[in-house]
Amino acid sequence: MTYTAKFRVWRGDDTGGGLVDFAVEVNEGEVVLDIIHRLQATQAPDLAVRWNCKAGKCGSCSAEVNGLPRLMCMTRMNTFAEDEVVTVTPLRTFPVIRDLVTNVSFNYIKARQIPAFAPPAGVAPGDYRMQQVDVQRSQEFRKCIECFLCQNTCHVIRDHEENKEAFAGPRMFIRLAELDMHPLDSKDRKVEAQEDHGLGMCNITKCCTEVCPEHIKITDNAIIPMKERVVDVKYDPLRWLGSKIGKRPGL
């Protein structure tokens, strides 16, 4: 079951770099990250790669394998033919630091701009009561492991660096959806999602959902419902009228 695979790994930093060819041993049951580690241990000791848990739970080893954003620890080698060249590059939406490691601070800066959970007034710790059906939508979004593959694949910023200012990205949209759907959050997130975080820039082409290793239905369960909630408060004249008459308070 052991064979020698052809790998092409991007090596370099922000001053330049390129794809470097390697021939490397592959054994049964291995994943791309194992092969990168073997390269480190045997051929390129200073090959930079970020990783932690090796089980698809921490979201550290994000990279692009044959052009597709993936977690290296969850990309099994048996998905490639033995004679196939496997190309591994860093995420292409964020600035590169070195080799496969990129600077993902964009995501942390954006996260900081989203107002935190606003606890309900007058409810003491221990007195929170929520029904399972009311929390499960938000729970789906809290499965996010922050691998930032969705942010990386989103063409809004991948192909348009200048949009990074105005656009928070799919990871932040599920955070906004999580909070807006939270049964006890006391803040309204709809208008700011549209006006401050660029929800309207999303054209729901769903690549975020396609690459999500946690299989979170980012587009269908977070972005589109948020767009619909925004319509409720911004673009639906009937609902607007309804809220003015006071028939539908609080929606």
55-114 residues in contact with another protein (CB under 8 A) are: 55-60, 64, 66-69, 74, 76, 84, 87, 89-90, 92-99, 101-104, 108, 111-112
Q: Does 212 bind another protein (CB under 8 A)?
A: no
Triad 175, 250, 171: Cα angle to 5°: 10
Size of the site for another protein (CB under 8 A): 121
| SS3 at position 244 | helix
Q: Does 243 bind another protein (CB under 8 A)?
A: no
Q: Does 185 bind another protein (CB under 8 A)?
A: yes
* Nearest residue (CB) to another protein, 5 versus 59: 59
Q: Does 204 bind another protein (CB under 8 A)?
A: yes
85-89/3-13 β-pairing: parallel
Q: How far is the CB of 179 from another protein (least distance, A)?
A: 8
Q: How far is the CB of 222 from another protein (least distance, A)?
A: 11
| SS3 at position 55 | coil
> Whose CA is closest to 168, among 150, 141, 180, 183?
150
Q: Which of residues 160-179 bind another protein (CB under 8 A)?
A: 160-163, 179
Q: Does 232 bind another protein (CB under 8 A)?
A: yes
Joined together, the tokens standing for residue 161 give: 């660096």
* Nearest residue (CB) to another protein, 3 versus 117: 117
User: Could you give the CA distance from residue 168 to residue 112 in angstroms, rounded to a whole number?
Assistant: 11
Sign of CA dihedral 207, 210, 216, 222: positive
Q: Does 20 bind another protein (CB under 8 A)?
A: no
Q: Which of 2, 132, 244, 249 binds another protein (CB under 8 A)?
A: 132
Q: What are phi and psi of 39, to 5 degrees?
A: -60, -45
